[in-house]
Amino acid sequence: MNLNQLLKSKIEEAISSLFNTSAGNSQLQPTNPEFEGSHTLVCFPLTKVSKKKPEETAALIGQWLVDNTDLVDRYNVVKGFLNLVLDDKVWVKVFQDILNEEDYGVVPATGEEIMVEYSSPNTNKPLHLGHLRNNFLGWSVASIYEANGYKVHRVQIINDRGIHICKSMAAWKLFGNGETPESSGLKGDKLVGKYYVEFDKACKKEVADLIAQGMDKEQAEKNAPIMKQAVDMLQKWEQKDADTISLWKTMNGWVYDGFDVTYKQMGVHFDKLYFESETYLLGKEEVLKGVEEGVFYKKADGSVWVDLTEDGLDEKVLLRSDGTSVYMTQDIGTAMLRFRDFPNISRQVYTVGNEQEYHFKVLFLILAKLGYAWAKECYHLSYGMVDLPSGKMKSREGTVVDADDLMAEMIGEAEKQTRELGKIDEMDQDEASALFEMIGIGALKFYLLKVDPKKRMMFNPNESIQLQGHTGPFIQYTHARIRSIVRKAATMDIGSGLANIDSLLPNEQKLISFLSIYPDRLQDAARDYSPSIIANYAYDLAKEYNQFYQAIPIFSESDKQKLSLRVALSEKVGEVLRKAMGLLGVVVPERM
């Protein structure tokens, strides 16, 4: 039983013994720093059963706890708030329990199994800042679930087919002169992206020409020769034309090679990849089955629809009148395939931007209508857009922040600042460059993950590159400091017994208190699908540790037991920081 539960049950005892009733669940909260104590009982709701003023009620309970338990050393009452000061021995015991735990904060396997999808890019252009938030989020949520005892499958669906890739193919055929990543030295995804832009430019020009010749805009967009070529390629692709398929494979291959490099730098991976080209037909089958079963209906022109008006939504098309699939059709197929591949998963988590909230609402409803029980367990991990100081990122306006460029820039800045501080004087080349990367990528991940995922966020390049304050490097630095302490302690003869310690300094008590709530934060983060809870916890813990570090010169302590406690406390804080940051995908250094 943890400390909070123990306290609560004692409080229940106090209430039933004092007032002859049970009060249900009592409200226990952390004590405001300006008052003495660690736990505070809010007594206003108890006046109903106590029939006394809040202050009196609080005092009675406080006194009862002092008299009848060995948890509470003393108390004070401010208005209706009962502030409890626990016996220091209780805190020492709490710490001892934490030390005794095999893998603190990690829940043993529960047997539950889920799937987390993230990234899921189109294959016609490189990854950008938005993908970074997506990948870091999905990766982190997956890790958080693992730490909560779940078995997690990390997957993505790759949008490898469709008009977008055909556009790049068409432009490459027209203007490419056989250019390859090898011949040009360009990263594969960048090369294919370049031709996507080329397509857009050429198409716009042709449309303008047609309009100048008197054609209306809509017609012109359809009849631009390059657009016709792209559409033609899409049709040929669906008919499995050998040349088209071959080019498609080649260009997608370039993109995957490029993505691999980016994912590696991001530090994410996937257990299994799904490709739209392999799932869209399954979705189509399922939709046709649904028509037979009367779940969906066919209109006169042959298009297939689902009626969601009873659920407060609209009618939604599932197959075009020409029989081809839409986005929704594919997602139905993908979802089914995944549950077929992994029959034990109880839930799928989709990490996709909030502009697709409606889409997922509809998807889950449809899956439920098709009779799949797991549909209601599916969750759209919806996150807000990343804005730039100049406004929204727009690929057409060239304001997109490229993922590779940004990561390289962060690492470069980390190197610059680290050198300026003279931190690498005693490091060899390998350690130094590993450190630059750790700091640069760590700063970026922390910056993107510290914000509540649901919220839209601002990405200010100057600020994100900053390495002091509420940042990843601040926490990395704290970890490095701790490791330095631990290394020094290892060369000394320090015992490990805490048994006889019966008093703590406030800084020590607060640190133990912080450590003790880590498992709660871990649960909260999973419940809310929110790495920001972990990020902010790690920051608070590091902040608290630095205060302790500054206030108490550890090695000037002559009492062996106290010295031992402080070293053990430091080491444990370091370990929790490392694990918490690990859940964000951030690696922490031994020195920096």
Phi and psi angles of residue 572, each rounded to the nearest 5 degrees, phi first:
-70, -40
CB nearer to RNA: give 264 or 419: 419
Instruction: Give me the least distance between CB of 78 and RNA, in Å please.
Output: 4
What is the DSSP-derived secondary structure letter of residue 368?
Answer: H
8 A C-beta contact, residue 80 and residue 54: yes
Q: Please report how close the Cβ of residue 327 comes to RNA at its closest, in angstroms.
A: 3
Cβ neighbors of 277 (< 8 A, separation 6 or more) are: 160, 161
Q: How far is the CB of 235 from RNA (least distance, A)?
A: 13
The β-bridge partners of 447 are none
Residue 26 or 135: which CB sits closer to RNA? 26
Instruction: Choose between 151 and 543: whose C-beta lies nearer to RNA.
Output: 543
User: To the nearest whole angstrom, how small is the minimum distance from the Cβ of residue 73 to RNA?
Assistant: 17
Q: How many CB atoms lie within 10 A of CB 183?
A: 11
Taking CA atoms, 324 is separated from 145, 269, 328, in Å, by: 37, 32, 11
Query: In whole angstroms, how close is the CB of 351 to RNA at the nearest point?
Result: 14
> Can you tell me whether residue 151 is helix, strand or coil?
strand
How many C-beta neighbours within 10 Å does residue 5 have? 10
- SS3 assignment, position 111: coil
Overall residue count recorded for the chain in this entry: 592
How far does Cα 562 stand from its chain's mean position? 39
Helix residue ranges per DSSP H, 155-241? 163-175, 181-184, 188-212, 217-223, 225-238
User: Which residues 6+ apart lie within 8 Å of 532 measured at CB?
Assistant: 449, 450, 451, 452, 453
The H or E element that residue 363 is part of is helix 357-369
Q: Could you tell me the smallest distance in angstroms from the CB atom of residue 232 to RNA?
A: 16
Distances in whole angstroms, Cα of residue 537 to Cα of each of 33, 475, 480, 540, 542: 17, 11, 18, 5, 9
In the complex with RNA, the residue whose CB is nearer, 336 or 533, is: 533
The smaller minimum CB distance to RNA, of residues 214 and 553, is found at 553
Which residue number, 426 or 502, has a Cβ lying nearer to RNA? 426
What φ, ψ does residue 382 adopt, rounded to 5°?
A: -95, 130
CB of residue 14 vs RNA: minimum separation in angstroms?
A: 18
Token pair belonging to 132: 């970074």
Looking at the Cβ atoms of 9 and 321, the one nearer to RNA is 321
In the complex, minimum distance from the CB of residue 167 to RNA, in angstroms, rounded to a whole number: 11
Nearer to RNA, 202 or 393 (CB): 393
Q: Between residues 174 and 554, which has the closer beta carbon with respect to RNA? A: 554
In whole angstroms, give the CA distance from residue 408 to residue 415.
11
Q: How far is the CB of 35 from RNA (least distance, A)?
A: 5
- What backbone torsions phi and psi does residue 205 show, to the nearest 5 degrees? -65, -45
DSSP character at residue 85: E
Dist. CA 304–CA 291, nearest whole Å: 8
Cα–Cα distance for residue pair 589/580, rounded to 1 Å: 14
* CB-nearer residue toward RNA: 457 or 505: 457
Nearest CB to RNA, comparing residues 141 and 451 = 451
Closest separation between CB of residue 184 and RNA, Å? 27
Show the tokens assigned to 165: 């890739």
State in angstroms the smallest separation of the CB of 554 from RNA.
3
Nearer to RNA, 181 or 529 (CB): 529
Q: Which two tokens stand for residue 273?
A: 């990849």
Per-residue tokens: 415:
């190197």
CB hemisphere CA count around 170 (13 angstroms): 28
Cβ closer to RNA: 160 or 181? Answer: 160
Least distance to RNA, CB of residue 363, Å:
10
Provide, rounded to whole angstroms, the least separation between the CB of residue 386 and RNA: 8
* Residue 329 parent element (H or E): helix 327-341
Among 384, 338, 591, 365, residue whose Cα is nearest residue 488: 591
Q: Which is nearer to RNA, 52 or 470 (CB)?
A: 470
**Residue type at position 173:** K
| 309 exposure class (CB count in 10 Å sphere: 0-12, 13-18, 19+) | exposed
Do the Cβ atoms of 589 and 472 come closer than 8 Å? no
Residue 166 beta carbon to RNA: minimum distance, rounded to whole angstroms: 11
